[in-house]
Copies of this chain bind each other. A is one copy, B any other.
Amino acid sequence: MNIALAQINVHVGNFAANLEKMLGYVANAKEQGADIVVFPELATTGYPPRDFLEFDDFIDKAEEVVNELAKAAEGIAIVVGSVSRNPVVEGKDLYNSVYFLSGGRIQQVQHKTLLPTYDIFDEYRYFEPAHEWNVVRYQDKTIAMVVCEDSWNVGNENPLYKINPMDQMMAHKPDLIINVSASPFNYEHAAERVRVMKVNAERYGIPLYLVNHVGAQTEVLFDGGSVVVNQKGDVIDELPYFQESMRIFNTEEVWSGDNISGEQPRNKMTLIHDGIVMGIKNYFGKLGFKKAILGLSGGIDSALVAVLAARALGPDNVRCILMPSQHSSDHSVNDARQLAENLGCQYDIVPIESIYNSYMDVLKPFYWGKPEGLAEENLQARARGMLLMAFSNKFGNILLNTSNKSEMAVGYGTLYGDMCGGLSVIGDVYKTECFELARYMNKDGEVIPENIITKPPSAELKPDQFDSDSLPPYDQLDAVLYQYVEMTQSPQDIIDMGFDAELVRKTLRLVNINEFKRYQTAPVLRVSKKAFGMGRRLPIVGKYLN
Contact = CB atoms under 8 A, between A and B. Distances in A.
B379 A543 contact: no
Interface in A91-112: 91-93
A521 B159 CA distance: 36
Given A282-B541, A354-B361, A542-B13, A159 B394 contact: no
A538 B53 CA distance: 10
Interface in A7-25: 11-14, 17
A357 B361 CA distance: 13
A216 B379 CA distance: 32
Q: Which of A91, A416, A523 has the most CB of B within 10 A?
A: A416
Contacts of A534: 537
A274 interface: no
A352 to B, nearest CB: 8
A456 to B, nearest CB: 26
Contacts of A91: 159-162
A490 B542 CA distance: 37
A162 B90 contact: yes
Contacts of A92: 160
- When all copies of this chain in the complex are counted, the total is 2
A375 B390 contact: yes
Given A389-B382, A492-B57, A539 B90 contact: no
Given A51-B537, A490-B56, A386 B359 contact: yes
A363 interface: yes
Contacts of A352: 362
A61 to B, nearest CB: 8
A504 to B, nearest CB: 12
B359 A387 contact: yes
Interface in A22-71: 46, 48-52, 54-58
Contacts of A521: 520
Contacts of A46: 539, 542
Interface stretch (A192-200, A262-270, A337-345, A366-374): A366-374
Contacts of A385: 416
A539 B52 contact: yes
A362 B379 contact: no
Nearest to A159: B90
A539 B89 contact: no
Interface of A: 11-14, 17, 46, 48-52, 54-58, 88-93, 115, 117-118, 122, 124-125, 157-162, 216-218, 282-283, 286-287, 348, 350-352, 354-355, 357-359, 361-363, 366-367, 370, 373-375, 378-379, 382-383, 385-387, 389-391, 393-394, 415-416, 420, 422, 488, 490-493, 516, 519-523, 534, 536-544
